[in-house]
Amino acid sequence: MIWLGIPAALCSAYWALAIWAAGRRLIEKPGEKLRKTPPAYAPVSILKPVAGRDEAFYAAIRSHAAQDYPEFEILFGVRDPKDTAHADIRRLIAEYPSVPIRVMTEAPETPNGKAGMLVALAEAARFPVLLVNDSDILVERDYLRKVAAPLADPGVGLVTCLYRARGSSFPARFEAMGIALSFVPSLLVARVVGVAEFALGSTMVFRAEQLREIGGFRAIADYLADDYQLGARISATGRRVVLADCPVETNLGAGSWADVWKHQVRWARTVRVSRAGGYAGSVITHAALWSLVALGAGAWRVAAVCYALRIVAGALSARVVKARDVAWYLVPFRDLFETAIWAAGMFGNHVEWRGEKLKLRRDGTLARLV
C-alpha cells in the first residue's frame, strides 16, 4: 500500500518547483531594468469587447482612461445597442474628454463573438501597438507603461499579465481563491519548464504588425480560447511571450454556486482541448487529493510534506499577484472542488458562454448548439 504515497511525492515535487518559481518572480523584480533605462513608448490602441456590465465595470474602464501614458485611444465594441454598458461608456467619455474614445456596434458574425468584435476593433485602431483585455480588468495608473515597455525588444511578440480576482459573493470569493493559489502557480511553473507560449485574457499587448502576420483575429475567430490561440500563434513566429511586471485585477461579481461551476467547467474543457496532455497530467498537482490518498495508505509524513509545500507555494503566488482576500482554512475544500472540476472537464464537450450553449470540437473550435 505504500506505493499509494508515490503520487503525493510527485505532487510535492511540483509544489516545490512552484515555490522556487514564485520566489524567483518575487526576487527578480522584472520591472527594475526598465525603470533604469526607460524605453520609447509607442502609441497604443486599447481594444475592449463588451457584453453587459457588472458592479465593477465603470471602475475598470475608468482605470484605463486615467493612464499616465503619452498617447493612447480606447475602442469599445458593444454589439447590442440596448446593452447597459453604453451608459457607463458615455459617462467615461464625459469624464475624460481629452482621451480619444470610440464605440463600435457592428462586427462580423463568428462562432466566437468576442473575436469577431476584435476583428472590427483592430481594423479601426489607429496606432501600431494593440492592447486587448477583458472588460472587467482593473489596472493601476502606470499599467500601460509597464505592459508596453517590453515591446521595445524586437524579440518580444506579446506581453501578458498575471491576475488576481475579487468576488462579491461567497461562491465568487471561493472561485477567486483558486486563481491566486492554483492557477497562478501553474503558470509560473509552466514558464520555468519552457511552456511560455500562452497569453491570458487579462492583458494581451502586441504590435499590429504581428497580428497581421498571423492572419488577424479572423484566424482565431472559430476558437473559444482566443487568448491562448493568439499567444501560441505569435510565439510560433519566433517571438517571445513575456509576463509584465504588473498583476491586474478581475471582478467575478456575485456569482452563485451554479455560475461558478459552469464557469470553471467551461475553463477546464477549454484548457483540455487546447493542451490535452497537459490537462490530463495536471491531476498530479492536486495536493488535497494525493495527500488524502497518502494518508489513507499510512504515508502520513509524505502527506504532511505535500500539503505543507502546497500551502507555502500558494502563499508566495498570492504575494506575486498581490491577492489578499484568502480564507486559508478553506484551501483544502477549494482544492477538492478543483479536483471535481478537473474530472468534469476531462469529459464532455458542451459549455455555456455568455448565455449561449456551445459545443467544443477536438481541435478547440466552436459549434453553436441550436
Any idea where the domains of the chain sit in the sequence?
8-46+128-362
**Is residue 90 predicted with pLDDT exceeding 80?**
yes
**What pLDDT score does 110 carry?**
87
Give the separation between CA 334 and CA 340, rounded to whole angstroms: 10
pLDDT, tens digit (0-9, with 9 covering 90-100), for 127-147: 999 999 999 999 999 999 999
Question: Percent of the chain, pLDDT > 90?
Answer: 72
Give the separation between CA 296 and CA 211, rounded to whole angstroms: 52
pLDDT, tens digit (0-9, with 9 covering 90-100), for 30-43: 554 555 445 568 99
Report the predicted TM-score, pTM, of the whole model to 2 decimal places: 0.91
pLDDT, tens digit (0-9, with 9 covering 90-100), for 289-311: 999 999 988 889 999 999 999 99
- Strands (DSSP E) contained in 79-209 are 101-104, 129-132, 156-160, 163-166, 204-207
* Closest of 163, 165, 274, 161 to residue 225, by C-alpha: 274
The secondary structure of residue 354, as a DSSP letter, is T
**What pLDDT score does 325 carry?**
80
Which residues lie across from 72 on neighbouring strands?
44
**What pLDDT score does 275 carry?**
84
- Burial status of residue 215 (CB atoms within 10 A of its CB: 0-12, 13-18, 19 or more): exposed
pLDDT, tens digit (0-9, with 9 covering 90-100), for 148-167: 999 999 999 999 999 999 98
Q: How many CB atoms lie within 10 A of CB 204?
A: 24
Give the separation between CA 258 and CA 264, rounded to whole angstroms: 10
pLDDT, tens digit (0-9, with 9 covering 90-100), for 330-346: 999 999 999 999 999 99
Residue 144 DSSP SS3? helix
